[in-house]
């Protein structure tokens, strides 16, 4: 039973990684990151049930709070990026190219 939850968590996480790696739209990348955070949350909660401890629940709540704050910041950043280049394609932002 536990294994099913953990498998789901891993699948969600991998989907998130794939999203970050393969998508070029900033919003999609951002959603993929949220997906990864929630995959982690699922794992926390699952393992908290397994060990019958509250630590995992606390951490899950914590992650949700951080994710909310991060969403507020990230959306502001996205708006600035759009103002700057007029596009939301991540390939446009390649200032670190060596």
Task: Considering only residues 23 through 42, tell me which ones interact with other proteins, judged by CB under 8 A.
Answer: 24, 29
Quick check: 3 binds other proteins (CB under 8 A)? no
Question: What is the rounded distance in angstroms from the CA atom of residue 90 to the CA atom of residue 9?
Answer: 27
Specify the residue, 57 or 88, whose C-beta has the smaller distance to other proteins.
Answer: 88
* Minimum distance of other proteins from residue 42's CB (angstroms): 19
- Length of the chain measured in residues: 98
40 and 63 Cβ atoms separated by less than 8 Å: yes
Contacts (CB under 8 A) with other proteins, residues 72-91: 90-91
- Residue ranges of E strands in the chain: none
CA distance 59 to 36: 15
Among 22, 25, 50, 55, binds other proteins (CB under 8 A): 22
């Amino acid at each position: 039973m536990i294994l099913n939850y953990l498998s789901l968590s891993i699948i969600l996480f991998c989907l998130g990684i794939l999203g970050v790696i393969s998508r070029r739209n900033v919003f999609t990348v951002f959603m993929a990151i949220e997906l990864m955070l929630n995959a982690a949350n699922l794992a926390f909660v699952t393992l908290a049930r397994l060990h019958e401890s509250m630590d995992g629940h606390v951490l899950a709540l914590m992650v949700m709070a951080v994710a909310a704050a991060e969403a507020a910041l990230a959306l502001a950043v996205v708006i600035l990026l759009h103002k700057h280049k007029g596009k939301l394609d991540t390939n446009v932002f390649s200032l670190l190219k060596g």
